[in-house]
């Protein structure tokens, strides 16, 4: 035991001062809710992570960093994003604003607890639910990945596809991005059946839309112009 700690115990045999100090440290330790609140007044966020989603994402990143839990939270945030993309039923609960907030919160937390997510992720989703932002959860997770990429000096590329990318498709896309000069890129994948096929790729301000939906729209206007 360090001398300073020992002398403190000797001078305070009841341990009251030490207990007060520990209690004060616990009170000062940031929670998910206080982290989100304090981040709202942040002067600047990493590029591409502004707005509401960026504030929540930055709060989660900084809280995880403060608690030395980034190695745990980063893969779990990716896993939660995949769960939303791959489970239409779960995504529907998140998006259904007609549900009572208490019922939606209970259902969503039950799912992520069953999936084995950490306490920090569970508490974070709980705060999002309490603030009636469950419909923005997927966007917040995408912003979180972008914050993490920015902190590592990487570029985040948002990819929208009609179906989840295969390993081969993902590797091919990363190769094409590398050829375009984006060697250190992190893919943020979203599934949107409404685009029908193809891809929508956004890297910073650059947008490449090769979706079948966009092609049909362009064909529609081209045919109207020729009529």
Q: Residues 48-61: pLDDT tens digits?
A: 456 888 899 999 99
Rounded Cα gap, residues 61 and 151, in angstroms:
10
* H-helix or E-strand spanning residue 209: strand 206-209
For tokens 């009170």, what's the residue? Answer: 27
H or E segment at 62? Answer: helix 51-66
Q: 152 φ, ψ to 5°?
A: -90, 0
Q: What token pair was written down for 61?
A: 């990143």
Question: What per-residue confidence (pLDDT) applies to 79?
Answer: 93
Query: What's the average model confidence in pLDDT over 12-26?
Result: 43
Q: Has residue 14 got a pLDDT over 80?
A: no
Scan for tokens 């932002």, then name that residue. Answer: 133
What pLDDT is stored for residue 35 in this prediction?
A: 58
In the prediction, which pLDDT does 106 show? Answer: 94
**CA 92 vs CA 26, 87, 145: distances in Å:** 38, 9, 22
Contact 91, 138 (CB under 8 A): yes
C-alpha span between 94 and 156 (Å, rounded): 24
Weakest-pLDDT range from 21-35, 98-112, 172-186: 21-35
What are the backbone angles phi and psi of residue 6, rounded to the nearest 5°? -60, -45
Give CA–CA dist 135/123, Å, rounded: 17
120-137 pLDDT, tens digit per residue, is 999 999 999 999 999 999
Check residues 147 and 183 and name the one with the higher pLDDT.
Answer: 147
pLDDT in tens, 191-201: 888 888 888 88
Q: Are the CB atoms for 156 and 145 separated by under 8 Å?
A: yes
Q: Dump strand ranges (E) for 49-168.
A: 155-161
Instruction: Tokens 């094409």: give the residue.
Output: 176
What integer is the mean pLDDT of 19-33? 51
Element containing residue 186 per DSSP (H, E): strand 185-191
What is the token pair recorded at 67? Answer: 């608690």
Half-sphere exposure of 149 (CA within 13 A, CB side): 25
Residue with tokens 């007060």: 20
């Amino acid at each position: 035991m360090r001398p300073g700690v020992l002398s403190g115990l000797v001078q305070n045999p009841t341990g009251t001062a030490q207990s007060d100090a520990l209690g004060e440290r616990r009170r000062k330790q940031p929670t998910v809710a206080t982290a989100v609140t304090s981040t709202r007044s942040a002067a600047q966020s990493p590029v591409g992570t502004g707005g509401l989603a960026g504030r929540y994402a930055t709060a989660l990143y900084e809280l995880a960093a403060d608690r030395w839990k980034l190695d745990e939270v980063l893969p779990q945030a990716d896993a939660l994003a995949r769960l939303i993309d791959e489970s239409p039923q779960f995504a529907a609960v998140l998006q259904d604003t007609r549900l009572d907030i208490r019922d939606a919160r209970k259902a969503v937390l039950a799912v992520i607890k069953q999936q084995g997510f950490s306490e920090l992720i569970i508490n974070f989703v709980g705060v999002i639910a309490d603030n009636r932002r469950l419909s923005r959860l997927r966007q917040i997770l995408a912003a979180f990945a972008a914050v993490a990429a920015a902190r590592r000096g990487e570029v985040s590329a948002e990819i929208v596809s009609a179906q989840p990318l295969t390993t081969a498709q993902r590797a091919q896309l990363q190769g094409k991005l590398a050829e375009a000069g984006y060697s250190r890129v992190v893919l943020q994948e979203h599934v949107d059946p409404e685009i029908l096929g193809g891809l929508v790729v956004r890297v910073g301000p650059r947008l490449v839309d090769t979706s079948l939906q966009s092609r049909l729209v362009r064909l529609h206007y081209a045919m109207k112009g020729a009529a």
